[in-house]
Amino acid sequence: MSIETKNRTPADPAANPQRSDGVSFAETALRLGGKSADEARRTGLIDTADDQVETMFAERHRTASSPIHRAVWERRVPTGLFHMPLPTMADDVRKMTNDCLHVVRKHKREGTLYDEFGKLTEVVLTELGDAGYWGALVDKRYGGCGLSFQHFAPFLTRMATVEPTVAGLASVHGCIGAVDPVRTFGTPALKERYLPLLASGRRLSAFALTEPGAGSDLTALKTTAVRDGDSYVVNGEKLFITNAVPGRTIGLVCRIDDRPAVLIADLPEEENDSFTMNRYGLYALKRAHNNGLVFRDFRVPAENLLTPKVGDGLTIAYHGLNLGRIALCANAAGTMRSMMASMLPWAGFRRTYGQAIARRELVQRRIGHLAGLIVGSDALVQWCAGLIDQGYRGEMECIIAKIFGSEAQKEAAIELFMKTHGGRSFMHGHLFGDNVHEFLAPCIYEGEGEMLGMAFFKSLVKQHGQNFFEPIGRVLDEAGIKYPNMLNPDHLWKLRTPMMAYAKWITGRRLLGVTRDSVDAMPAELRRHAEFARGFLSDSCFGISAMMRKYQLKLADRQCSMALASSRVQDAVTMLVVSLYGAKHECELTRAAAEGLCTHLRHRIGGTLPAGQDFRRATNLGGAIAEGGWAALHDVQQEEILMTY
C-alpha cells in the first residue's frame, strides 16, 4: 500500500500492487478520499518503508502470518503462539546480569550513582561496560554477550527495579541506538570496526531521527548529506536525542539524493564549528542526557553509510523500534515493582481510625490491580521477546506491549501509587514526586500510544484491504467512478467480480466458523478468559470488515473509530496472552493477578461494570500481598517512609 518513488522498483510486488504508471492503488484511494497529492505521497513513502521491512523476514514470520493477524482473519486461532516459554539461562549470561546489577546497587548504596548535575556518572557507565552491559545484544564474536531477547528483556525489568534510567539506556544503546543498525545493516568492515567499541561501551550510542519538524511524520526530514569525495557533508538539526553528547556514536538519519539514509557518525569529543548541541530543560530523562544536535558542514566517512538490501533509511529506522517497544514494557514492569515495594510498607504504617490502611478495601484493591498490571507487562514482554527470537517481525505484538506497558505505568503512578501515599507523594525524596515525569513520558516514547494504536489497526487490516477492497478501488479508479452507487446498474456490473470475491469470503467465515486448540488443561477461571478472548478475536473480523465497508475511502479520517476498534482488539490479545501466562505460572498470587487483570480487560471490552465478586477477588489478592509479600518483588528494595510520626 505505497507509492514507489521515481526510478525505484517495489521490493515485493505482491505486497505492493501497482498500476501501469507505477502508482499504488493505496495512494489512489487516498487521493480519491480527498487527500492532497503531497499527503498521499508522504503516506506512501512510509508504507513503502513498512513493505520493505516486511521483506527482510521469512514469509511465515511476516505480519500477515503473525499470531494476531491469524487469530482475527483465519479460521483457526493459533493459541499456542500466544505463549512463549522462557528458555534456560546459561551460566555466563547469569553472571553478566548479576555483575551489572551489583555495579548499580553498589553505587546507589554508596551515593555515587549520579554526578553533581544529577546524571549517571562516567564511572558507573564504564564499570557497566566492564561487566558486559553495553554488549548484551552484540554477538560474542565482536566482544558482546549475545543475549537472546527473551533474556535481555526480563534483565531490563530487574535493572529497572534498581535504576530505570540505566535500564532505559541499555535499550537506547542496543535497540534503537547504533548497535541494531550496525549489526543488521552494516558491512562486514563496519561491524568489525564498530561492534567491539559499542560492546565495550567505549562508544555509547544514540539514534538521531527526530527533528524540530519531523516526529511521527518521518517524510518531513530536512537534514541532508551530500557526497564530497570520501565523505558526506551533513547539514541540519536533530531534537530530543537521548544519550547524545560529544564523544558518542549515533545513527544519523538524513536525506541523501532526496532519499532517507542512515550514516554511522562519531560525534567529536568537543563541540566545534561543525557540531554544536542545543541544550534545553527537560523534565523527563533527568538522569540521562537529552540534547538537540546541530550540524554545519559536518563530515562523515562515506563508508559509514548503511546500505540495506531493500529499502532505505526509513527501513533501518523502523527495524529497531519493535525491540525498543518491548524494552519499554520491560522497564515499566520493573518500575511498577518499585512502586508496589514502596506502597506496601506505607500501607502497613499509615493508620486511619485505628487501623492500617493495608486492611482497607480500597487500598487492597489498588495493590491487587497493580499486581495485575505487573503480571500483564511480564506476560507481554515474555511473549513478544519470544516471537522476536523465533524470527517474527512482531510489529503488532510489540505495539501492544509498548502501549500496555506505558499506559499501565501511568495508571499505576497516578491512580494507585500517588493516591495511596497522599500528600507525601509530592515531597522531595519521594519516589513519585521525584519521578512523576519519568512515569508519564513512556506514553510518548517509541510512538505516542493512540498514534501507535492506529498503526496497529492499519497493520491488522492491510492484507484484508489488499485482498478485497483494493480490487474494488482499482475498478473504481479505472472506470473514473469517485462515488459508487449500488443502485446504479452500471456501477454494480463493473464491481461484480471483486464484490463476489468479498461475498464468498464473508459467507465462508460465517458458515464454516472457527476451529480452536483445546485449553481444557488451564485452570477454570483463566480458561474462561482465554476462551472469551479467542472468540472475540475471531469474531472481530466481521466488525472490522464492516467498518472498512462503511467508511471505504474515508476510513483514514475516522481516527476515533479506528482507535476504539484497535484498543478492543489489543485488550483481547492481552487477555489471551495473560491468561496463558498465568496458567503456566506456579505462583498462586501471580495466577490470581492474571485472573484479575483479565477480568478488568473483559469489562473494558464489553463496557460493563465490575461486580461484587470481582472486587472481592481484587481485594483478597491485595490483602494477601500486603500481609505476606509476593515472590515477584524478590530483591526489590523498599523505599524509606518519609516524615514518620
Domain boundaries, the chain: 1-47, 91-176, 205-305
- Asked if the model's pLDDT at residue 231 lies above 50, the reply is yes
- Asked if the model's pLDDT at residue 17 lies above 70, the reply is no
Whole-structure pTM value: 0.92
Question: Looking at residues 232-237, what average pLDDT do you find?
Answer: 98
Taking a C-beta distance cutoff of 8 angstroms, is the pair 236, 62 a contact?
A: no
**Phi first, then psi: what are they for 301, rounded to 5°?**
-55, 140
End-to-end CA distance of the chain: 64
pLDDT digits (tens, 9 = 90+) for 167-180: 999 999 999 899 99
Q: Which pLDDT score is estimated for 18? A: 43
Q: How confident is the model at residue 33 (pLDDT cuts 50, 70, 90)?
A: low
Q: How far is CA 593 from CA 229, 527, 574, 582, 632, in A?
A: 61, 14, 14, 8, 11
Question: Looking at residues 534-557, what average pLDDT do you find?
Answer: 91
Q: Which pLDDT score is estimated for 20? A: 40
Q: Which pLDDT score is estimated for 5? A: 26
Q: Which pLDDT score is estimated for 39? A: 63
Q: How confident is the model at residue 326 (pLDDT cuts 50, 70, 90)?
A: very high
pLDDT digits (tens, 9 = 90+) for 46-59: 677 777 788 889 99
Does the 91-176 domain belong in CATH 1.20.140.150? no
- Asked if the model's pLDDT at residue 75 lies above 80, the reply is yes
How far is Cα 474 from Cα 258, in angstroms, rounded to an integer? 30
pLDDT digits (tens, 9 = 90+) for 98-153: 999 999 999 999 999 999 999 999 999 999 999 999 999 999 999 999 999 999 99
pLDDT digits (tens, 9 = 90+) for 284-322: 999 999 999 999 999 999 999 998 887 788 888 888 889
Q: How confident is the model at residue 42 (pLDDT cuts 50, 70, 90)?
A: low
How far is Cα 403 from Cα 382, in angstroms, rounded to an integer? 15
Q: How confident is the model at residue 45 (pLDDT cuts 50, 70, 90)?
A: low
Q: What is the mean pLDDT of the chain?
A: 91
Taking a C-beta distance cutoff of 8 angstroms, is the pair 584, 330 a contact?
A: no
Of 12-16, 468-472, 537-541, the least confident: 12-16
Residue 105, judged by CB atoms within 10 A of its CB (0-12, 13-18, 19+), counts as middle
Under CATH, to which class is 205-305 assigned? Answer: mainly beta
Q: How confident is the model at residue 620 (pLDDT cuts 50, 70, 90)?
A: very high
Q: How confident is the model at residue 638 (pLDDT cuts 50, 70, 90)?
A: confident
pLDDT digits (tens, 9 = 90+) for 573-608: 999 999 999 999 999 999 999 999 999 999 999 999
